[in-house]
Amino acid sequence: MSHELFEAAREAMTKAHAPYSKFPVGVALRADDGKVYLGANIENLSFPQGWCAEPTAIGAMVMGGGRKIVELAVIAEKLPLCTPCGGCRQKISEFASADTRIYLCDEAGVAKTVTMAELLPYAFETDVIG
């Protein structure tokens, strides 16, 4: 399963719009509905206004009917084992569980697997705040 997500994330990365940073990122996530949703970073000349690959994939998941992330793969062209940024870690955790698998990829495939709890050990929890 993780290899399928790696291939999908790598394909998503080719669709990134990263003319300013030249740092394309791709994400593929499998949702609770069994479907795979893709995302790529989409930059804007006003740098804080662009968005990362992870929320792009999450938005596709929500609009496609998925509600929970079962597993997620992330790949960046220029940085092997690129982890989601801090803000994206919280965005992912909103739709994931502590044991959701996050696959960190390099050009050859999945190089490391971590859980959501390892990636963001002190995430805000909706059952406490929401």
Output the pLDDT for position 33.
98
Q: Is residue 85 marked as binding?
A: yes
Pair 28, 5: CB distance under 8 Å = yes
The values of phi and psi at residue 104, to 5°, are: -95, 125
- Kind and range of the H or E run holding 75: strand 69-76
- Residue 127, pLDDT > 90, answer no
* Mean of the per-residue pLDDT values of the chain: 95
How confident is the model over 44-93, as pLDDT tens digits?
A: 998 788 999 999 999 999 999 999 999 999 999 999 999 999 999 999 99
Q: What burial letters (b/e) apply to 57-66, b meaning 16+ CB within 10 Å?
A: bbebbeeeeb
Q: Where exactly are the structural domains of the chain? A: 1-119
- Kind and range of the H or E run holding 12: helix 2-13
- Residue 125, pLDDT > 90, answer no
* Domain 1-119 homologous superfamily, CATH: Cytidine Deaminase, domain 2 (3.40.140.10)
108 CB burial (10 A radius; 0-12, 13-18, 19+): exposed
Q: Is residue 82 marked as binding?
A: no
Q: How sure is the predictor about 130, in pLDDT bands with cuts at 50, 70 and 90?
A: low
Output the pLDDT for position 124.
83
Question: Rounded to two decimals, what is the model's pTM?
Answer: 0.93
| Residue 64, both tokens | 């496609």
Output the pLDDT for position 48.
80
Active site residue 54: yes
Query: Which of 4, 11, 43, 54 is labelled catalytic?
Result: 54
